[in-house]
Structure 1
Amino acid sequence: MSELAPLLEKTLHEEIPLTREIGIQVVHATTQRVQLSAPLSPNINHKCTAFGGSLYAVAVLAGWSMVFAQLHAAGIHAHIVIQDAKIDYLLPVVETINAECRVNGETDFAHCLKLLARKGRGRIELPVQIITAQGIAVRFIGNYVIHT
């Protein structure tokens, strides 16, 4: 677990109470990759698979966590909100929910942080995947707004 992971998990549990209820844990947290997990049992539906709303929540939170990691690394305290998103449910999830958000470069965040500094508001689009033993179960793209 990286140094950022305990801080991120504490922040999630204090600022977003739902994260405690669905059992969110921060598995990995850097400015390049955030991985969250949540157990199946509090997120199960009547088909004994992960509830779609829980999958959506974990995906949103993985992107939110990436924004948090980037802001933390830049020494910036700001508000993070999801503006809109697109989600594709590809496979049922019958195990621990594992969501991952990866960033392959700093350019989008650099531009976003410049806008935040100049206008008090920035925007970033982030991809998240929920991965199972069978493959990619969920593809998610979220647009996050950062404001002071």
Structure 2
Amino acid sequence: MREVGIPHPRLPLPSPGSEDDPAAFLAWLGQAIPTVAHLGIREMYRDGDALHWSLALTPSLNDKGTGFGGALAAQTTLLGWCWTTLWLRRRGLSRDVVVAEATQRFLAPVTGDYRLECLPEEAAGPERLAARLADKGRGRISLVQRLWCGDTLCLEARGDYAVLPET
């Protein structure tokens, strides 16, 4: 059980030249952030620069029988944190990541199981982050998250994620 004020142990970095196992990363994430076990995440996968989750709607239902905005906003924020953390891990870096700013636009009700995608707001964002980390030891990246229910775009979010200096 997690305790307030006690950091959770970091997940060991993958061996050089390999990537994180998505199931192992999600298992660790569920231990590090207890609410993850209640989000309904069914699968996590990468496609190029994008990170995707598929999710069940049931854990995030509101009183109207559609997706609860607060739960959906939390999921988009966490997906951006995961994108940044996994990006760092692929480069052999184990660093603290925090969300610095996040916004959401709710476009349509979420009426069934859905998928979330996260990718850099600008194609050059990851290269700029890498350069900033090499130069200053810290940096930021802007990411966009989109929630799709079938072919309907229901939510578009944006977040700035800060990579903190090594401690």
Which is richer in strand? 1
Structure 1, gaps ≥5 residues long: none
**CA RMSD between the two structures:** 2.1
For residue 12 of structure 1, what is the aligned residue in structure 2? 29
Counterparts of 1:51 and 1:4, CA distance in 2: 30
Q: For residue 91 of structure 1, give the secondary structure of its aligned residue in structure 2.
A: coil
Q: Is the 8 A contact 1:31 1:70 kept in 2?
A: no
Q: For residue 62 of structure 1, give the secondary structure of its aligned residue in structure 2.
A: helix
Q: Is the 8 A contact 2:120 2:126 kept in 1?
A: no
Q: Rg: which structure is higher?
A: 2
Which is richer in helix? 1
Deviation by residue 1:14-52 (Cα, 9 ceiling, x = unmatched):
222111122224331356121113321111100000100
For residue 33 of structure 1, what is the aligned residue in structure 2? 50
Distance apart, 1:94 and its partner CA: 1.2
Distance apart, 1:105 and its partner CA: 7.4
Tell me the matched-pair count: 147
Deviation by residue 1:56-109 (Cα, 9 ceiling, x = unmatched):
011112211211221111111001111111110000001123110134876311
Is 1:65 the counterpart of 2:82? The answer is: yes
Compute the TM-score of the two structures, normalised by the length of structure 2. Answer: 0.78
Rate the CA distance shift 1:70–1:144 in 2: closer, same or farther, 3 A: same
- Pairing 1:43-54 to 2, within 5 Å after superposition: 43-54=60-71
Structure 2, gaps ≥5 residues long: 1-18
Distance apart, 1:136 and its partner CA: 0.4
Rate the CA distance shift 1:3–1:76 in 2: closer, same or farther, 3 A: closer
Is 1:142 the counterpart of 2:159? The answer is: yes
Counterparts of 1:120 and 1:138, CA distance in 2: 33
Is 1:107 the counterpart of 2:132? The answer is: no
Query: Which of 128, 135, 144 is the matching residue for 1:118?
Result: 135
Letter in 2 for 1:146: V
Q: For residue 47 of structure 1, give the secondary structure of its aligned residue in structure 2.
A: coil
Q: For residue 129 of structure 1, give the secondary structure of its aligned residue in structure 2.
A: strand
